[in-house]
Structure 1
Amino acid sequence: MTENMMTALGLDRPESGDDTVVPFTLDKLDTRGRSVRLGDSLDTILNRHNYPAPVARLLGEAVVLASLIGSSLKFDGKFIMQTQTDGPVNLIVVDFDAPDGLRGYARFDHDALLRAAEEGRTKPSELLGNGHLAMTIDQGAHTERYQGIVALQGNSLEEVAHTYFMQSEQIPTQVRLAVAEFTKKGDHRPHWRAGGVLIQHLPEHGGTRVADLPGDGNFDNPDHNFVEADGWNEAKVHLSTLDDLELADPDLSSERLLFRLYHETGVRVFAPMPMVERCTCSPDRIEDMLATNFTAEDREEMAVDGEIEVVCEFCSTAYHFNPNQFEAKH
């Protein structure tokens, strides 16, 4: 990165790499945002289940979106994004475990996916179908969950995110997501990677309050009378020039990307936030779930050859328990 570029960005550190979220502001355009680049963390999530490529891309977009939203949390807790639909990919769950943990899972109908592929219906909106997307914040025990739900009616995750923020948070928001496969030097296996940018309009001084993300808005009373400011329109126009290759380019850092987009209007970037693939399952948690949610009779029926096996849907780790061990603790 050149000295002029570093000065323009207000940068006094090396540029960030993969598996990071970089917050930024466009002060002259009354806009804030975040840029994410995911490499090895996303590749691990998507390869763990050997998803067909269309499913992997859709889940990858969901992971990117969850990273952009979840990284805004200002407290320890979990951000959960989930779709439930009637399409070939009927369930997607992505957990963001603040401040940096990511895990994701997709469930799909093999036959329906095959028919969709034969008919050329592999766009994200066509794979999702109709249903809903829920975004949930869980701050742990002794706190109330916040949840916002928006309809999924043949829309992309980008479009749904725009609708969600206008309805539940009353924050004008624009999102770009891209997922692609690249081959590394010396490695013939393609690797999944992704990028995304989220921008949001900030009110002028003395203007309407902007909610912290997410969960600080009023889902029941969206403001339909919002008039878009010139600065916000300009920020959106610049973002719309991004293509998928730029977003997922392994050689283009968030800082370089943002400078390319907004150097004429000015952009300030802040310290990158690391993202890691991390599952929150554990032997103790699974054991507690079996003890709390199932009776002794249930556990006996679950046992095969005297052993209960529980496989985590996210990371595929298999846990084994003796059905009699639970009674021994009581």
Structure 2
Amino acid sequence: MTLGNKLAWDDTVLPFQLDNADIRGRVARLDGVLDGVLKQHDYPPVVEALVAEMTLLTALIGQTVKLRWKLSLQVQSNGPVKMIATDYYGPNEEGEPARIRAYANYDADALTDGPAMEQIGKGYFAILIDQGKGMTPYQGLTPLVGPTLATAAEAYFAQSEQLPTRFSLSFGKSTEPGVGEHWRAGGVMLQHMPKASPFAKGTEATGAEGLLHARDLVDGDDYENWNRANILLDTVDDLELIGPSVQPTDLLVRLFHEEAPRVFDSQPVRFGCTCSEERVRQTMSIYSQKDIAKMTNDEGRLTADCQFCGAHYDLDPATLGFEGTGNE
């Protein structure tokens, strides 16, 4: 692949449909997005890997949100990695890139040499969708299960949305010739088209911890189609997922040519944060000047740091808050 083609597919999500199997999906390739997310922090390698996986999941899942909507993924746990949070901001206009940001909160002293998911422990996986002003945000959550964040996301969709879902992901440090070492990721998401009554099958949940599994939601021809697509996806290798030598369109033909794959317009994604001094001031506007005084540092300033992008705001307390006695 030429450099031009490589750049054309990096930081994009390509939606597709398998017409012969009643399955939809997405292919994602992330490069600069991960660099933007991870360079803001000095994460230990195991935390970097978890944030990279969560960012890739966010790109694949978030592609379906509408213009100006916001989708958030969250992992909360009792392990060394307390939280991973990501936001996906739908494009403001058709053809514009979506924006992704992410961060992790962790206890460095509690991290171990064990697998990545061992650093998370017990907790929950959540998806939140904000449709904008005047609309009630949607939130769904399920317990964290499985050996990866991808399997936790699959369990979420089976349990909370009753949608059979499968992820195949690859991510890690890239060492391409002539390019500095950097994080790169790629993945495929499959999802069976929703049915009117997914519980009509009447089977018991067979997933971990008594949760529904994708196989519990399909039967008959749907089961055969779903099983066949999963077997085909099992043949993908890491280099096909992350590129840059295989284009996503070629990958879909290689994997699913007998399923009549049909692609739609790709969605570019970029690293982007929505923090600003104006937003900090807006947040502080609910506090009285007496409350603001309690937040002021020894230098007589009020400071705030963005957890996502690391931006630092240094404000004059006299310009914040409202006059009043505040809370005692």
TM-score class, shorter-chain normalisation, is 0.7 to 0.9
Can you give the 5+ residue segments of structure 1 that lack an aligned partner in the other structure? 2-13, 211-220
Partner Cα distance (1:74, 1:327) in 2: 35
CA drift of 1:196 comes to: 1.4
Quote the residue 2:24 is aligned against. 32
CA drift of 1:298 comes to: 3.0
Work out the percentage of aligned pairs sharing the same amino acid.
39
CA drift of 1:110 comes to: 0.7
Residues 1:222 and 1:87: Cα distance change in structure 2 (over 3 Å): closer
Q: CA RMSD in A?
A: 2.3
Would the aligned equivalents of 2:33 and 2:270 in 1 still touch at CA under 8 Å? yes
Would the aligned equivalents of 1:184 and 1:191 in 2 still touch at CA under 8 Å? no
Quote the residue 1:298 is aligned against. 291
CA drift of 1:295 comes to: 3.2
Which of 238, 252, 262 is the equivalent residue of 2:256? 262
Q: How many pairs align?
A: 297
SS in 2 for 1:263: helix
Residues 1:270 and 1:321: Cα distance change in structure 2 (over 3 Å): same
Quote the residue 1:147 is aligned against. 139
Would the aligned equivalents of 2:31 and 2:185 in 1 still touch at CA under 8 Å? yes
SS in 2 for 1:76: coil
Which of 85, 98, 106 is the equivalent residue of 2:104? 106
Partner Cα distance (1:101, 1:131) in 2: 27
Partner Cα distance (2:307, 2:34) in 1: 16
Which of 168, 172, 178 is the equivalent residue of 2:170? 178
CA drift of 1:243 comes to: 2.9
Quote the residue 1:169 is aligned against. 161
Q: Which deviates further from its counterpart, 224-233 or 79-88? A: 224-233
Can you give the 5+ residue segments of structure 2 that lack an aligned partner in the other structure? 92-97, 199-210
Instruction: Check if 1:198 corresponds to 2:189.
Output: yes
Normalised to the residue count of structure 1, the TM-score between the two structures is 0.83
Equivalent residues in 2 for 1:14-29 (5 A)? 16-29=8-21
Higher relative contact order (CA 8 A, sep 6+): 1
Would the aligned equivalents of 1:180 and 1:248 in 2 still touch at CA under 8 Å? no
Quote the residue 1:307 is aligned against. 301
One-letter identity of the residue aligned with 2:265: A
SS in 1 for 2:35: helix
Quote the residue 2:277 is aligned against. 283
Would the aligned equivalents of 1:129 and 1:154 in 2 still touch at CA under 8 Å? no
One-letter identity of the residue aligned with 2:231: V
Q: Which deviates further from its counterpart, 222-231 or 274-283? A: 222-231
Quote the residue 1:249 is aligned against. 243
Partner Cα distance (1:278, 1:233) in 2: 37
SS in 2 for 1:28: coil
Would the aligned equivalents of 1:81 and 1:95 in 2 still touch at CA under 8 Å? yes
Partner Cα distance (1:195, 1:58) in 2: 14
One-letter identity of the residue aligned with 1:66: T
Cα-to-partner distance string for 1:175-195 (whole Å, 9 max, x where unaligned): 1122111124434x4111111
One-letter identity of the residue aligned with 1:198: M
Residues 1:88 and 1:20: Cα distance change in structure 2 (over 3 Å): same
Partner Cα distance (1:199, 1:153) in 2: 19
Instruction: Check if 1:230 corresponds to 2:232.
Output: no
Cα-to-partner distance string for 1:176-223 (whole Å, 9 max, x where unaligned): 122111124434x411111111111126xxx6368xxxxxxxxxx979
Residues 1:236 and 1:303: Cα distance change in structure 2 (over 3 Å): same
Would the aligned equivalents of 2:99 and 2:269 in 1 still touch at CA under 8 Å? yes
Cα-to-partner distance string for 1:260-293 (whole Å, 9 max, x where unaligned): 211243311121100010001011101111122x
Cα-to-partner distance string for 1:290-311 (whole Å, 9 max, x where unaligned): 122x332332232221211111
Q: Which deviates further from its counterpart, 277-286 or 172-181? A: 172-181
Partner Cα distance (1:153, 1:268) in 2: 32
One-letter identity of the residue aligned with 1:298: D
CA drift of 1:242 comes to: 2.0
Partner Cα distance (1:267, 1:135) in 2: 28
Partner Cα distance (1:328, 1:147) in 2: 33
SS in 2 for 1:74: coil
Q: Which deviates further from its counterpart, 297-306 or 317-326? A: 297-306
Residues 1:241 and 1:295: Cα distance change in structure 2 (over 3 Å): farther
Residues 1:18 and 1:197: Cα distance change in structure 2 (over 3 Å): same
Would the aligned equivalents of 2:17 and 2:263 in 1 still touch at CA under 8 Å? yes
Partner Cα distance (1:243, 1:54) in 2: 22
